[in-house]
Copies of this chain bind each other. A is one copy, B any other.
Amino acid sequence: MNKVSVAVLGATGSVGQRFIQLLENHPYFQVTHLCASENSAGKKYGDVMRKRWKISSDIPAYARDIIVTTPDPSRTPGVKLAFSGLDASVAGEVETAFANAGIHIISNSKNHRMAENVPLLSAEVNPDHLSVLSFQKTPGKILTNSNCTIMGVTISLKPLFEQFGIEAVMLFSMQAVSGAGYPGVPSMDILGNVVPFIGGEEEKAEIEPLKCLGKVVDGRIVHADFPISAHCNRVPVFDGHTVCVSVKLKKKATEQEIRKAWTSFRGLPQELELPLAPPAPIVYREEEDRPQPRLDLDTGKSMATVIGRLRPDPLFDWKYVVLSHNTVRGAAGAAVLNAELMVRKNLL
């Protein structure tokens, strides 16, 4: 199989770095172009990143000598697909320009997420939403993944939604600093502290799961219909968003039924054995004090969603804790998995 030539947009940022790491030796994709702002353009990626690479392993060798270009489709000849980790301030315009130029976009940015014919794709949750891509008018199609906090929550809700129906969800997040990018959260704000506010986060948390769990009707995505209330907090954790969830179901379910719904859950990525798919999308921990970022973040090469502490809720029906890796499963990894799905569904 010939590898697909791809670009990474926003290659110097936190999500961009993860893309570059996850795409090393990828069986489907070959990164040929790295795009970033004018400050970096014209220089070798390895030189630009000497002091900015923040992942605990070296810059992959393949990326070091690529000359960075600005994110302009005329500068990425041969590229069929671009992974975007662009900042929201520029993502909208740049991604549209690539789509107009016939280059598909797999975006981690929020700009196009809520458009009715742009899938907010979580590969195990709503692969059927890919059908709306054909309703986009640009020659290149735009595919997005959801907010990093919401990714794991939505995966945890999917089997419950399918089997029991959901009436209401309340969620409370404790989010890692890497979710804010680099330099992001100043250390003076978060060392030994918690900040009970993250701009725009609760709004996303209260709507994105509804789109992911929605249905395609006449080429448009119609949202699921239940209320969500979110409390979002920043805590002094490096990677890994932990979320406490209370859920009210439409149909009563026992603890055993819910746990079985989770542990038996498999999606299209598992069926197709996509390269980045974890063997099980959901791993349930039996211990009373799990999941924890320190201990559970590597599960399924950081692509699994880890759940624990299922117990009755005096107000709603059940409560539990869900953890997922915010920059892998919640961002770059989810986007690459989505791209893998596009390849296997012959959508490139």
Where the two chains meet, the residues of A that have a C-beta atom closer than 8 Å to any C-beta of B are: 50-51, 54-57, 168, 170, 172, 174, 177-178, 182-197, 206, 227-229, 231, 233, 235-238, 242, 244, 246, 286-298, 308-309, 313-316, 319, 321
Contacts and interface: CB of A to CB of B under 8 A. Distances in A.
A54 B182 CA distance: 21
Contacts of A314: 206, 227-229
Contact of A186 (B55, B184, B235): B184
A191 to B, nearest CB: 5
**Chain A to chain B: the 6 pairs with minimum beta-carbon distance, closest first:** A183-B186, A172-B172, A197-B289, A231-B244, A229-B315, A192-B192
Q: Give the one of A184, A192, A321 with max B CB within 10 A.
A: A192
Contact of A292 (B57, B196, B237): B196
Nearest to A190: B187
A338 to B, nearest CB: 26
A168 B315 contact: yes
A177 B187 contact: yes
A231 B191 contact: no
A293 B197 contact: no
Given A187-B187, A192-B192, A287-B50, A236 B233 contact: no
A244 B286 CA distance: 26
B172 A231 contact: yes
Nearest to A243: B196
Given A184-B188, A186-B182, A188-B177, A194 B292 contact: yes
